[in-house]
Amino acid sequence: MVERAGYDGESENVRVSSLNRADGEPATEEDANAVHIASSYNGHHSTVPVVAGWKELGFTLRYSGYGASAANKGPMTEEQKAERKTPIENNKLMQSATVVRRDFVKALLAKKQPPKGWQHFTVHAITHHPETASSYEGTVAAEMAGAKTGETSDRWAWNPLRDHVARSTVRPEVSLIALVCAGYEKTIAKDSWRSPSIRHIDYLTRLIAWGYTASPVEQIILDSAAPAQEHAAA
């Protein structure tokens, strides 16, 4: 059991999902010689398969663009170029998906009735993923809520959603849903497909229940929930 598990060449212990075997094939859980126990802020635990001392054992980094060791430097093979191209393309697709996803939420909240199950969605987010309420971006939330943001302000801690709520008592549920969605959005990075989080799975699953169609790169995040569910069932 190891205390830390990295993704790149700076780590002694690297997750199998970031490694290739000596024959060039992706490493699997069967190649792991150690595990890392990951703990989330809400008390959930999961085991992460790791290869400790991966360099000495002949493993190489799957994504050569992220901290590749000196042994991997030099002209890349066509296979290595393809491996490098995949994360770059996925990052771009994730950025595009973010625009589509936020537009979907904005259109959803513009309807006369709030989406079904919004009460449980918001309370679940606040109790299980409290960062959604504590560190959301006010501008994103205001745009989702269809609130007028006015001209961009340079004053410190300016929050257009807060200003909107202070001015209007109409449909406060829309502002609350937008706040939580914006909180989730802030946690999603362009490379979140690489290390899916339960909070992202919860968010995307709810959007899909409301009619959203996940993009292929978002589906990578959703598909990561299946192994975890199978492990929990076992």
The alpha carbon dihedral of 173, 178, 181, 183 has a sign of negative
Q: According to the 3-state scheme, what is the secondary structure of 18-78? A: HEECCCCCECCHHHCCEEEEEECCCCCEEEEEEEECCCCCCCEECCCCCCCCHHHCCCCCH
Q: Say if CB 58 and CB 14 are below 8 A apart.
A: no
Global pTM? Answer: 0.63
Name the residue with tokens 């998906």: 97
Alpha-carbon gap, residue 44 to 183, rounded angstroms? 20
The alpha carbon dihedral of 27, 30, 32, 38 has a sign of positive
131 burial type by CB count under 10 A (0-12 exposed, 13-18 middle, 19+ buried): middle
Q: Where do the structural domains in the chain lie, given as residue ranges? A: 13-74, 86-233
- Looking from the CA of 100 toward its CB, the CA atoms found within 13 Å total 17
3-state secondary structure of 75: coil
Look up residue 215 and give its amino acid.
S
pLDDT in tens, the chain (234 residues): 887 777 777 778 888 888 888 888 888 888 889 988 876 545 567 788 889 888 888 888 887 544 444 444 455 555 555 555 677 888 899 999 999 999 999 999 999 999 999 999 999 999 999 999 988 898 999 999 988 766 555 555 678 888 888 888 889 999 999 999 999 999 998 888 887 889 999 999 999 999 999 999 999 999 877 544 433 333
Look at residues 159, 143, 150, 149 and name the one whose alpha carbon lies nearest to residue 109: 143
Look up residue 31 and give its amino acid.
D
Q: What is the pLDDT of residues 132-144, one digit of tens each?
A: 998 889 899 999 9
Alpha-carbon gap, residue 199 to 97, rounded angstroms? 17
